[in-house]
Chains A and B, each alone.
Chain A
Amino acid sequence: MTPLDVKQDFPILTQTVNNHPLVYLDSAATAQKPQMVIDAIETYYKYDNANVHRGVHTLGQRATDAYEGARETVQQFINAPHSKEIIFTRGTTQAINIVARSYSEKFIQPGDEIVLTPMEHHSNLLPWQQVAKRTGALLKFIPLEKDGTLSETAVKQTITDKTKLVAITHVSNVLGTINPIKEITTYAHEMGAVVLVDGAQAVPHMKVDVQALDCDFYAFSGHKMCGPTGIGVLYGKKQWLNQMDPVEYGGEMIDFVELTDATWKELPWKFEGGTPIIAGAVGLQAAIKYLENIGLDKITAHEKMLTDYAMEQLKQLDGVDIYGPTERCGLITFNLKDVHPHDTATVLDSYGVAVRAGHHCCQPLMKWLNVTATARASFYLYNTIEDVDRFIDGLKQAKEFFGDVF
């Protein structure tokens, strides 16, 4: 395949950092934005800005069309059956919290089991801890295999007829593991449980079809897929969303209001209290169009090429621990022997190479890996083979620099 060549679409990537051309390898934390997305937001504010679903003036209509148009773009992008099953949120975290609040209130009883994995981001762990405390449900965790994957046996031993809900990440932001969501939803449904998927690390990098996965809820964030911060999506099957109560009450989501009581709108608006994230939705729509124009399959292949190349290079360095399975998404979590990841990241930064160091919002997973922190390089469509070379060079410098110390 020919590698993608799109770096020039991203103005931020043309700068130098610490006197070196920037190499951005932290897209798993947040992705950079192409000019097209920045332009879409600017155009919206310059020409169309107004509040939505209110008043009758022209701009109000344009803003409403833009916002609802974005919803349809998202619906088609993840192949949801209905646009009313697309709820705009602040991000993955808020999307998961809505389900944890609202679905649990209706459907979770004391003694019910909620199944998670030890590789969940704090965003898909803490909300369920609170549900367990509030409802008296129990949390169970599907044990990981040594390489950080889930085996069919482990899945089937943990999900039982007591399980009411399975909340699981599609792709691990630390290990890069791609979980077998389709198999899990099939089995969970046989056991009578619903499945929420945290798609924050999947949607930016691969074609996701919520009908093919047959998940009940799917959450993701705009900012990790070239869109702006502050916008995300909760997809939910309408059979569940219809039965769930709103989480936030206020303007915009109402039907009739009296002094002591009110009724609210139908889906999706009943979950979108207050003035919605209009410019965010417009930006997300532009990001989706940008990604689709390039092609999700090409993006997946490009990242795989970069990851394979980086792995090969890393294996030629001594004293590098790599975490996670062979079959993985476009990120590599690692540690240099005897060098703390903070120090690794600082050395890389001094060469203009941005990687993440820390616990990546996965403290229980760090414990499982038996480390306090790790470094992580994550790739996206704008990265190149030269970026990987710069990264590897930086690591050699770090090893040399700290090698002198020990």
Chain B
Amino acid sequence: MSFNNLDTLYRQVIMDHYKNPRNKGTLNEGLTLEMNNPTCGDRIQLHFIIEGEVVIDAKFEGEGCSISLASASMMTQVVKGKSVEEALKLSQYFSNMMLGKETDSDDLELGDIEALQGVQKFPARIKCATLAWKAMEKAIDQEDEM
């Protein structure tokens, strides 16, 4: 049997992030945000330090499937060092990508996140991929309110 169909979902880059997550851990300062996916019990905890509208540091911890954890790893990697505005643009880009909408990446530095493109063909898994991004948006929201 061939893995063709599955290979569009489980790209090597994704598996690499799953196996060797980047930015896994906690931060002693900054803000912490926990988000879960109530339909499956996946849970992610984000730690962000934002200073002067820039994401200085980002880490995550969590329990979840390959897609949700790889997505968290990629997300933290790509938003670190970016301005809050860019981070939100990336999130918008990602969410459009999940919906299968063609969008211009507008010179955004995408890092590895495009590897998750295949998830759009697996509608049941889109929520896994977007969990970390939703948490990130919420973290930025909270920072705004402070």
Question: Chain B: which residue is nearest A339 at the CB level?
Answer: B66
Chain A nearest CB, measured from B121 CB (Å): 11
Q: Is A406 an interface residue (CB 8 A)?
A: yes
Looking at the complex, which one of A347, A349, A373 makes contact with B40 (CB distance below 8 Å)?
A373
Structural contact, A373 and B1, CB atoms closer than 8 A: no
| Residues of chain B with a CB closer than 8 A to A340's CB | 64-66
> With A350-B6, A401-B6, A405-B19 known to touch, is A373 a contact of B41 (CB < 8 Å)?
yes
Instruction: Check A363/B41 contact, CB under 8 A, given A340-B65, A401-B10.
Output: yes
Q: Are A343 and B65 in contact (CB under 8 A)?
A: yes
Which of B6, B43, B122, B125 makes the CB contact (< 8 A) with A372? B43
The yes or no answer to B114 lying at the interface (CB within 8 A) is no
> Which residues of the other chain, A, contact B65 by a CB distance below 8 angstroms?
340-343
Q: How far is the CB of B60 from chain A (nearest CB, A)?
A: 15
Report A398 CB to chain B, min CB distance, Å.
Answer: 9
B115 at the interface (CB under 8 A from A): no
> Is there an interface contact between B41 and A347, defined as CB atoms closer than 8 Å?
no
**CA distance in complex: A397, B3 (Å):** 9
- A372 to B63, Cβ gap below 8 A? yes
A387 to chain B, nearest CB (A): 17
Interface size on B, as a range, is 20 to 34
Interface presence of B103 (CB below 8 A): no
Chain B residues within 8 Å of A119, by CB: none
Q: Which residue of B lies closest to A344 (CB)?
A: B65
Residue interface mask A388-406, B partner, CB < 8 A = 1: 0000000001000110011
Q: A349 vs B10: C-alpha distance in the bound complex, in angstroms?
A: 14
Q: Is B90 an interface residue (CB 8 A)?
A: no
**What's the minimum C-beta distance from B38 to chain A, rounded to whole angstroms?**
9
The answer to the question of A320 belonging to the interface, with a C-beta cut-off of 8 Å to chain B, is no
A358 contacts B39, C-beta separation under 8 Å = yes
Q: How far is the CB of B69 from chain A (nearest CB, A)?
A: 8
CA gap between A340 and B19 in the complex, in Å: 12
Among residues of A, the one whose C-beta sits closest to the C-beta of B3 is: A401
Picked from A346, A357, A358, A405, the residue with its CB within 8 Å of the CB of B9 is A346
Q: Contact: A18 with B19, CB < 8 Å?
A: no
Q: Is the CB of A358 within 8 A of B19?
A: no
A405 near B18 (CB under 8 angstroms)?
yes
**Can you give 8 contacting A-B residue pairs, CB < 8 Å?**
A342-B67, A346-B9, A346-B122, A346-B125, A359-B40, A372-B41, A372-B42, A397-B3
| B residues in contact (CB < 8 Å) with A | 1, 3, 5-6, 9-10, 15, 18-19, 39-43, 63-67, 122, 124-125, 128
Question: Beyond A342-B128, A401-B10: 7 further Cβ-contacts under 8 Å?
Answer: A341-B65, A359-B41, A363-B41, A372-B41, A372-B63, A401-B3, A405-B15
